[in-house]
Structure 1
Amino acid sequence: MRFRKIHGAGNDFVLLADPTPDGEKDWPKEAERLCARRTGVGADGLVISSLISISPIVLAVSCFNADGSVATMCGSALRCTAWAAHHDHGFREMSLRMAGVMHEAIVSDDSVWVTAEVGAVHPRRVQTVINGKPTWFDSAHTGTEHVVAIVDDVDAIDAVLVGRLIRHHPDLAPLGTNVNFVEAAGSQALKIRAYERGVEAETLSCGSGAVAAVVIAAPARTRVAACRHRPQPCRGAAHGPAISRPTEADSLGRRTGHQHLRRGPRMTQFLDSSSGLAVREAAQTLRYWQRDREGLGVALVYGPVSAEDRLYHSKCPVDQRSVTALSEALDRIGARWKVLNPCEPDFITELAGYDVALSNLH
């Protein structure tokens, strides 16, 4: 058995890899004991992973929250498991089974990608008053229950007080929910604070919550599918882009049935033209998508960004070579692609004609 204390963008876990089979082990109790911040190791959850197949590579993953409850989906735990499996066994692509659901994972030199499924989106599930303002929460199922509220200023909210109130709201009984507060921070960025059920506290990040935030916060007609969860002082750590493959829309025009790839912890996406690493990551991911879709359409969103946005982009000089190299990789896998400028008036209309949008190319 290998023991690790590990975190994914600040969402921290005790990770036990390939433990000795023990039918008598009470893992929920072990989670409570190990995750206790003052008397144990301290963590948001306990993750148990076991290699169950080599060809194909499949790992069984169980995640228990700090209170001992079972987490049916945890994007951060999946990413941590994939990273550990890569370092222990050298795997770069693998399948992870959590709560009976299969997720795909890709590990590169400095990033980990995992898939997450999104179910139905329900508008206006519950309402409360935050700082004197009536606020609605929409819900999305990303393998586990989430509600999301769009607010003006996430830093002005008592995330623990309001989060606990909504988490135990009678209209969401008996399961309760995870609670996310989201603030728009530019055309392709979100600031997020998350109160997690089972941890019963605000956590530094939440992978499945970030996916829910993207689905709910961005209308289908404007979604560029590369929102970033920016770091919050003393609380929120950075997620990488959440890239979505849309299928169908709900009555409000928001996409449901997405398969999302969660990536982290790097902030930039497909940028470092000097090494070519990011281009290889993009091509590898798109090849994965191409397996079950003919004629994949890819929009390369390439245009000017604000000075503030540049703080979240690669420090390497980026020029047209990046777009050229990526377009060559897309040609090799037979994808249909086009460079789109977000400043052009017909940008949104053109974007709707593509399956995937790759942005942050500046």
Structure 2
Amino acid sequence: MRFTKMHGAGNDYVYVDCFHEPVPQNIPATAIAISDRHTGVGGDGMVLICPSEVADARMRMFNADGSESEMCGNAIRCVAKFVYDRNLAKKPELTIETGRGLLTMQLTPGRDGLIEQVRVNMGQPILEAAMIPTLLPGNPPANVPLDVAGQTINVTCVSMGNPHCVTFVDEVNDDWVLRVGPQIERHSAFPRRVNAEFIQVVSRSEFIMRVWERGSGETMACGTGACAAAVAGAITGRTDRTVTAHLRGGDLKLEWSPSGDVYMTGPATEVFSGDWSTSLS
């Protein structure tokens, strides 16, 4: 099985071109094996780039634990780059089918003609508790107390097609991400588990973010999480509606527009390609 390793701001996945490769027979097992950083290719998960009847391509995204997720903001930028660079659809504006629905993006090539930056219309945030989903009160659940890891913290919940729990902290550190993050992910308040973002506000136009992703653990970046954090910052009055998120793997620019749509702009980078033995899956 031919694969390509790509990353968006350090959030790395193994991509399979299902326009030309058969879909793996056991997708969860393949995702787990190929994502292993010691015995596989290594990545935060596996993404299938598939034909679509309604868009230029369809993205299916699987976490490193084999579970399927609805959406990944960093991955979709890489999908757009792959589709354009490989001539699957050579257009400056693409639509990609996802578990969130159809998303539209504008592509910016570099001097070599290959795509470097992608601006994605991530759609409108979902703020109804039942739709996120969370059992916490409020529409949106903003600054809501959550008992977790032996303490009570205030959280704000947003869905960008996948669920996010945003916690604003004085200083982002390992204890928040590596100890509290896993406990938030599997908290009973989140029936489908949740991505946990920890945000340190720098100014009204920028914040530092680390994330514990559902099914993958800490990642270098999370596009949907950055969008959710931008919305949470605006809802709670901590930030403006246009912000820059500083993540471990790089920066993302977010805009919660007057129309209600959230726009995310960031890099997409190809690392290498190779062949995976399906007998290892």
Sort the TM-score into its range (normalised by shorter chain).
0.7 to 0.9
For structure 1, the 5+ residue unaligned runs are 248-257, 267-362
Residues 26-105 of structure 1 aligned to structure 2 (within 5 Å): 26-52=26-52, 58-89=56-87, 90-99=90-99, 101-105=101-105
Q: Deviations over 1:318-356 (max 9, x none)?
A: xxxxxxxxxxxxxxxxxxxxxxxxxxxxxxxxxxxxxxx
Structure of greater relative contact order (alpha carbons < 8 Å, 6+ residues apart) = 2
Contact 2:8 2:74 in 1 (8 A): yes
Aligned match of 1:202 in 184, 195, 218?
218
CA distance in 1, matches of 2:267, 2:148: 33
Supply the RMSD in Å over aligned alpha carbons: 2.4
1:18 aligns with 2:34: no
Superposition misfits of 4+ residues, deviation over 6 angstroms: none
Aligned pair in 2 of structure 1 residues 224, 122: CA closer, same or farther (>3 Å)?
same
Secondary structure, counterpart of 1:37 in structure 2: coil
CA distance in 2, matches of 1:52, 1:177: 28
Displacement of 1:166 in angstroms is 1.0
Secondary structure, counterpart of 2:173 in structure 1: helix
For structure 2, the 5+ residue unaligned runs are 110-115, 128-139, 269-281
1:127 alignment counterpart? 146
Aligned pair in 2 of structure 1 residues 154, 207: CA closer, same or farther (>3 Å)?
same
Relative to its length, the structure with more helix (as a share) is 1
Residues 1-362 of structure 1 aligned to structure 2 (within 5 Å): 3-20=3-20, 22=22, 25-52=25-52, 58-89=56-87, 90-99=90-99, 101-109=101-109, 110-117=116-123, 118-120=125-127, 121-128=140-147, 134-155=152-173, 157-172=175-190, 174-199=191-216, 201-219=217-235, 224-231=240-247, 236-247=248-259, 258-265=260-267
CA distance in 1, matches of 2:20, 2:80: 20
Contact 2:148 2:184 in 1 (8 A): no
CA distance in 1, matches of 2:36, 2:228: 28
CA distance in 2, matches of 1:29, 1:222: 42
> If you compute each CA radius of gyration, which structure gives the higher value, 1 or 2?
1
Q: Across the two proteins, how many residue pairs are aligned to each other?
A: 247
Contact 1:239 1:263 in 2 (8 A): no
Identical columns (%): 28
Secondary structure, counterpart of 2:161 in structure 1: coil
Relative to its length, the structure with more strand (as a share) is 2
Contact 1:122 1:139 in 2 (8 A): yes
What TM-score, normalized to structure 1? 0.63
Contact 1:146 1:179 in 2 (8 A): yes
Contact 1:126 1:138 in 2 (8 A): no
